[in-house]
Amino acid sequence: MYGKPPPTIPHYIPSLTNNEVVESLVATRQVMHDKLQKRLKKAQDSMKKYADARREDVTFFVGQWVYVKLRPTRQRSVAGVNHSKLSKCYFGPFKILARIGEVAYRLELPARARIHPVFHCSLLRQYHGAPPSTTEPRPLEIIGHKPLQRPLCILDSKLDSSTSPPTQLVLTQWAEQPPEDTS
């Protein structure tokens, strides 16, 4: 952690000292140290066995379409959701542009996505079916837990005189939204 190797514990060498108390303490410490190492090795082997049981070797090829698993609480530029607890985990499909190393792939993400386009194969799932002709519109971007909407056109405006000072109200149709969602 600090750029130095950890201190090593020297092994016990019998009859190193003439003091019987020190001899018994060192022998007891060595026995405990050996037991701890055996138990740690057993626990590591058990964890490795269960972790390897769920792993599968997945390979994709360039040009294939895949879904990508995102953390909606972190990668909002692609996920674009208000309540991440109820949101979907896999987004896409996205096209694989290149294979980087043995387990990483570069994806063709939307231009406005603000995340790195290289993903580990464990975050990808294969897309089944015919390749999509066009990518569907992505959900709205979220800033401060509110959707970022872009206006398409202003339909009407009026002056609200019930407030002081009077407020300008505008009826707006939003881009990527149906006409029923004008506000």
pTM: 0.48
Indicate whether 39 pLDDT > 90: yes
What is the identity of the amino acid at 180? E
Return the pLDDT at 79: 47
Return the percentage of the chain with pLDDT > 90, whole number. Answer: 26
For residue 30, tell me if it sits in a domain: yes
Mapping DSSP to helix (H, G, I), strand (E, B) and coil, where does residue 77 land? helix
For residue 92, tell me if it sits in a domain: yes
CA angle, residues 121, 122, 128, in degrees to nearest 5: 75
For residue 60, tell me if it sits in a domain: no
In a shared domain, residues 135 and 73:
yes
pLDDT digits (tens, 9 = 90+) for 9-18: 666 676 767 7
Residue pair 154/147 in contact by the 8 Å Cβ criterion: no
For residue 154, tell me if it sits in a domain: yes
Q: What share of the chain is helix, strand, coil (3-state, %, to 5)?
A: 25, 25, 45
In the chain, how many domains are there?
Answer: 3
pLDDT digits (tens, 9 = 90+) for 87-138: 677 888 899 999 999 999 999 988 877 788 999 998 999 999 888 876 544 5
Q: 41 vs 168, which has greater pLDDT?
A: 41
**Which residues span the domain enclosing 168?**
149-181
In a shared domain, residues 136 and 153:
no
Residue partners of 63: CB distance under 8 A and separation at least 6: 95, 96
